[in-house]
Amino acid sequence: QKEVEQNSGPLSVPEGAIASLNCTYSDRGSQSFFWYRQYSGKSPELIMFIYSNGDKEDGRFTAQLNKASQYVSLLIRDSQPSDSATYLCAVSGGRRALTFGSGTRLQVQP
């Protein structure tokens, strides 16, 4: 069983819409949760991190965490074609090493 699960996609949304990316994790002791964006051929770029249950907003991005359901999501409002990338969910159990999901490919259609 994979430790961090993501739908591989592609998730296709029209420009200006809200993109919703989901991630589940198996280790109930996980403490820190991260969303990275990776363009093709490039390394991942940190977008958001969240440690507590609830929502955390940063510009057009909102991360949501529900530890009881072992679920973390990323919402992207007013999606732009430049948001088209693979989004990686990563989870830390407190020893600093991250476990990555396989990523969800997002396509924003102009």
- For 7, other C-beta atoms within 10 Å of its C-beta total 15
Q: How far apart are CA 22 and CA 9, in angstroms?
A: 11
Binding mask 59-88 for other proteins (x = CB under 8 A): -----------------------------x
Which one of 18-26, 43-51, 54-62, 66-74 is the stretch in contact with other proteins (CB under 8 A)?
43-51
Q: How far apart are CA 69 and CA 67, in angstroms?
A: 5
Q: Give the DSSP letter string of 28-41.
A: TT--EEEEEEE-TT
Binding mask 23-42 for other proteins (x = CB under 8 A): ---------x-x-x-----x
Which positions lie near other proteins, rule CB under 8 A?
32, 34, 36, 42-46, 49, 88, 90, 92, 96-103
